[in-house]
Amino acid sequence: MANVHRPRVFLDVNIGEQPAGRLTIELFTDKTPKTAENFRQLCTGEHDGLSYAKAPFHRVIDEFMIQGGDIANGDGTGTESIYGGEYEDENLGWRDMDAAGLVCSANRGKDTNGSQFFLTLEPCPHLNGKHTILGRLVSGHDTLVKISKVEVDNDDRPLEPVLIARCGELEKRSKKAAAPQPEDVMNESGAGSRGRRRKSDASDDEMAGSPAPPRPRPSRRKSDNLIDEGLRGRPRQRSKSQSKSRPLSATEEEATSDGTHSPHSPAEKHKRKRSPSPSRHVEEKRTDDADAKYERRRRSLPNQYGDERYNRNYGDEARYKPSPRRNDHEYAGRRGEDRYRPSHGRSRYENDAGRLDDGGGRLGGGGYDEHEPPVMFKGRGVMNTASMLSKSILNSLALLVGSAAAWPPSYPHSPPGGPGPYGPGSCAASSHHQWRLANFTSLVVFGDSYTDDSRLGYFINNHGAAPPVGYNDPVSYHAADGGRVWVEYVKQYTGANLYNYAVSGAVCSNEITPRWFSAINAPFPDIAGYELPAYLNDSALVYANGTKFMTDPPDATVYAMWIGTNDLGYSALIQDEQVAGTNLTTYVDCVYDQLDRVYANGGRFFVLLNVAPLNLAPEYGILGQGGAGPNQYWPDKSGNISEISGRMLEEVVSANAIYQYRTPYEVVLANRYPGADFALYNVHDLMQNIHDNPSAYLNGTAPLNVTGHVNVCNATGGACVANTSPDSFMWYDELHPSEQTERIIAQTFVDVVKGVSAYATYWSS
């Protein structure tokens, strides 16, 4: 290893208009030669002028990493390389991301490396084996900390530009024999530069090349005017010419004890002339003695003598202690939970005892409380989320969900895991916010009338018989929204293969909320009993020529589920007509149980749509605000309409709160779906925004309407009159969204599968 030559490159960084310092990087050419050579040539600019110069660090996440190197677009969405485009991963397993200061190639999936890179600010074990490690930081750790402390927006993009001003390669210089130096050069080591080394003193390991910022020399001693303590605690003061101390006289002790100086105090009588202060010293006037005629020197570096402390009133550069080094000759940063911790004040996740809220100093590390049972979601008692989870689990979920809320992705700045598609994911609290789908070719979807094309029609037309295996569900231009459903628009927008198993009237399971449908003389087909088995049968279908019915590669197929409208609604939970012993949590259990079956069949990318704001639909709305009385979906509706609307609001909010916490629990903490990626699509808030701001979404020619509906019928579903401007409405009828609303849902869904939607929270295992 000692004979291996690893080249070193440098990046001079500016924050705004001001130089921040230099990052010197040693490249692992012996471990990842192709990736390291790409990085080296982009530093030197020797390949067709491609260079990191003027490229930004477009993504900064303190206590995780800084990312830059987009020489194509400059915003994190592009990449380039000396190999003419993206190239393959290299030696991914040669070491773990077990230290700060590692330089890694950023990517958007397997074999998609280019110019983008990131530097770790702490160990990132969740990224092991996912990114090529090409080098390490050998100097410039203070510069790295400066960059990590810049202010950023919600997309982790610096508010003030952080640019690579200059870059290049450092050349190794051999030690030369001493030679006579010109007088002016020899003077560099004279009195004017005490302690500096001559240029001829360079060692074999030093680099020559582009100039670097001057290296600070160690302090020889404290200021001559500073009083310190002797061996036995007596005040001692520096003499005017010697480095040794002498005891102060009694007069001098008395003068110094009250903060004043004796007229004969050596501090004023003897002023030693010294060379100009080096750059790391600053001159400041004494403010505690108005008659003082001297200036004292103090160092601007924090914790000079170990007794300086900083609080939140100081700038960020003063709030963090220097990181100790390990004895492995590798920069490792702080160890354990003390890494980059503030010197004073608490972390935003600490409690009054100074401990992380999860009780264990790390995510989920607290364990169960001895007085509380383990987490069990299969219970049949009254729903109480807090009672179902131990305190440590709740705190861990609060960390996870809180970090998600503080980090909303938004295109084009935050594709999978952060700004741009080339990103290493996220930090400890948000390290599982990833969406690693590189290519979207197929969509498999389960649901009810909000999604169904023609399957319920097949049941009706065939006296309740189910479609055969390999059934191609035809598109309907007269679906429940009055036109095409949202999945057909997803197919149109993306060109993906569509396998739609949704059935109008469906619930998750007829063992929880069965609903009778007289047209087929049976309950509506459900997800658990019909839709999932139909999918499993189709996925196993192989024709005689050897081709499969479904084109569903695991790395390019998304499985979406949107269910709950009927589970919570008429003839179900809102009327307490569910099977005895079941409740809202049982319905949610069913949803994850069906996802288990898809996962076991090879599914790895899931989009779970939460419950729509049904309390805004005319079916469950308030009278005077669009709420409907008896209608085709609830012919015998009676009672307090406001009470019905309020109860539906309670059910919707409760179900979505469970989804919000249950999803990260199952994916991250329980590791129920190893290797899978989940997106929780907040379609509820999207539809709420349509309701609150219709002019941004609806585009019909008639006045915009979010309380009424397009198709108005009598209580038996007859004598219908349709409005001539359906795109002006949020709702098509008493229960179903309009086609325009479903177009918006489809457009947002496309962003969700890209990994860039602000209406999605991403989780990966």
- Tokens found for residue 20: 């921040």
Q: Per-residue pLDDT tens for 304-337?
A: 333 333 333 434 333 333 333 333 333 333 333 3
Confirm if 458 and 111 have CB atoms less than 8 A apart. no
Higher pLDDT, 271 or 613: 613
Q: Is residue 73 annotated as a catalytic residue, yes or no?
A: no
- Tokens found for residue 520: 């087929």
Residue 432 has pLDDT above 80, yes or no: no
Q: Which of 359-364's residues contact partners 24+ apart within 8 Å by CB, and which partners?
A: 359/391, 359/392, 359/395, 360/392, 361/336, 361/337, 362/337, 362/428, 363/396, 363/399, 363/400, 363/428, 363/429, 364/392, 364/393, 364/396, 364/669
What pLDDT was estimated at residue 278?
Answer: 42
Give the position of tokens 């590692």.
102
What pLDDT was estimated at residue 447?
Answer: 98
Confirm if 437 and 753 have CB atoms less than 8 A apart. yes
What pLDDT was estimated at residue 715?
Answer: 87
Q: Which are the contacts of 394, defined by CB distance < 8 A and separation ≥ 6?
A: 386
Question: What is the b/e burial string over 39-61, where b = at least 16 CB atoms within 10 angstroms of the residue's CB?
Answer: bbbbbeeebeebbbbebbbbbbb
Q: Is residue 541 annotated as a catalytic residue, yes or no?
A: no
Give the position of tokens 């705190």.
395
Question: 146 φ, ψ to 5°?
Answer: -60, -45
Out of 102, 121, 127, 163, the active site residue is 127
User: Mind giving me the DSSP string for 273-325?
Assistant: --PPPPTTEEEEE-SS-TT--SEEEEE-STTSSS-----TTS-GGGSBPPPPP
Euclidean distance between the first and final Cα of the chain, in Å? Answer: 36
What pLDDT was estimated at residue 110?
Answer: 85
Give me the mean pLDDT over the 529-533 stretch: 98
What pLDDT was estimated at residue 127?
Answer: 87
What pLDDT was estimated at residue 203?
Answer: 44
Rounded Cα–Cα distance for residues 99 and 326 (Å): 10
Rounded Cα–Cα distance for residues 513 and 525 (Å): 12
Give me the mean pLDDT over the 174-195 stretch: 44
Residue type present at position 661? Y
Q: Is residue 433 annotated as a catalytic residue, yes or no?
A: no
Helix (H) or strand (E) holding 107: none
Helix (H) or strand (E) holding 35: helix 33-44
Confirm if 192 and 87 have CB atoms less than 8 A apart. no
Query: Which among 42, 25, 27, 22 has a CA at the least distance from the CA of 211?
Result: 22
Higher pLDDT, 367 or 42: 42
Residue 104 has pLDDT above 80, yes or no: yes
Helix H segments across 555-640?
A: 584-600
Query: Which among 372, 418, 423, 421 has a CA at the least distance from the CA of 395?
Result: 372
Higher pLDDT, 391 or 748: 748
Diameter over CA atoms, the chain: 113
Residue type present at position 641? I
Q: To 5 degrees, how large is the angle CA 493–CA 496–CA 502?
A: 95
Residue 359 has pLDDT above 70, yes or no: no
Burial (Cβ within 10 Å: 0-12, 13-18, ≥19) of residue 566? buried
pLDDT band at 21; cut points 50, 70, 90: very high
162-166, 264-268, 297-301: the lowest-pLDDT one = 297-301
Confirm if 503 and 448 have CB atoms less than 8 A apart. yes
pLDDT band at 398; cut points 50, 70, 90: low
Out of 40, 131, 413, 743, the active site residue is 131
- Coil/strand/helix, residue 704: coil
Residue type present at position 345? G
Q: How many CB atoms lie within 10 A of CB 172?
A: 14
What pLDDT was estimated at residue 635?
Answer: 87
Helix (H) or strand (E) holding 664: helix 641-664
Rounded Cα–Cα distance for residues 373 and 18 (Å): 56
Provide CATH 3.40.50.1110 ranges for the chain.
442-764
Confirm if 39 and 134 have CB atoms less than 8 A apart. yes
Q: Is residue 747 annotated as a catalytic residue, yes or no?
A: no
- Tokens found for residue 648: 């539906």
Provide CATH 2.40.100.10 ranges for the chain.
1-172+300-359
Give me the mean pLDDT over the 21-42 stretch: 96
200-204, 367-371, 423-427, 490-494: the lowest-pLDDT one = 367-371
Residue 4 has pLDDT above 90, yes or no: no
Out of 64, 446, 524, 678, the active site residue is 64
What pLDDT was estimated at residue 688?
Answer: 96
Higher pLDDT, 125 or 679: 679
Query: Which among 680, 705, 641, 610 has a CA at the least distance from the CA of 408?
Result: 680
Residue 752 has pLDDT above 90, yes or no: yes
Confirm if 557 and 441 have CB atoms less than 8 A apart. yes
Q: Looking at residue 505, what DSSP letter applies?
A: T
Out of 40, 59, 166, 515, the active site residue is 59
Q: How many CB atoms lie within 10 A of CB 572?
A: 21
Range 442-764 has CATH code 3.30.70.1450: no
Residue type present at position 422? Y
- Tokens found for residue 744: 């918006």
Question: 594 φ, ψ to 5°?
Answer: -70, -35
Q: How many CB atoms lie within 10 A of CB 634?
A: 21
Q: Which are the contacts of 580, defined by CB distance < 8 A and separation ≥ 6?
A: none
Confirm if 360 and 349 have CB atoms less than 8 A apart. no
Give me the mean pLDDT over the 646-669 stretch: 96
Q: Per-residue pLDDT tens for 684-720?
A: 999 999 999 999 999 999 999 999 999 999 988 889 9
What pLDDT was estimated at residue 641?
Answer: 85
* Bond prior to 412 in cis (omega within 30° of 0): yes
Out of 38, 107, 500, 631, the active site residue is 107
Q: What CATH architecture applies to the domain 1-172+300-359?
A: Beta Barrel (2.40)
Q: Is residue 304 annotated as a catalytic residue, yes or no?
A: no
37-41, 110-114, 380-384: the lowest-pLDDT one = 380-384
Out of 23, 41, 42, 67, the active site residue is 67
- Tokens found for residue 501: 């198993």
Query: Which among 728, 734, 737 has a CA at the least distance from the CA of 713?
Result: 734
Q: How many CB atoms lie within 10 A of CB 311?
A: 11
Out of 118, 446, 524, 729, the active site residue is 118
Q: Is residue 397 annotated as a catalytic residue, yes or no?
A: no
Query: Which among 758, 765, 587 has a CA at the least distance from the CA of 680?
Result: 758
Higher pLDDT, 365 or 277: 277
Q: Is residue 606 annotated as a catalytic residue, yes or no?
A: no
Residue 388 has pLDDT above 80, yes or no: no
Mean pLDDT, rounded, of the chain: 77
Residue 266 has pLDDT above 90, yes or no: no
Q: Per-residue pLDDT tens for 215-243?
A: 555 544 444 444 444 444 444 444 444 44
Higher pLDDT, 374 or 622: 622
Q: For strands 442-447 and 18-27, give the pairing.
A: unpaired
Residue 366 has pLDDT above 80, yes or no: no
Percent of the chain clearing pLDDT 90 (strictly above): 58
Q: Per-residue pLDDT tens for 596-632?
A: 999 999 999 999 999 999 999 999 998 778 888 888 8
- Tokens found for residue 282: 């600053």
What pLDDT was estimated at residue 528?
Answer: 98
Percent of the chain clearing pLDDT 70 (strictly above): 66
102-111, 187-196, 524-533, 617-626: the lowest-pLDDT one = 187-196
- Tokens found for residue 344: 């004073």
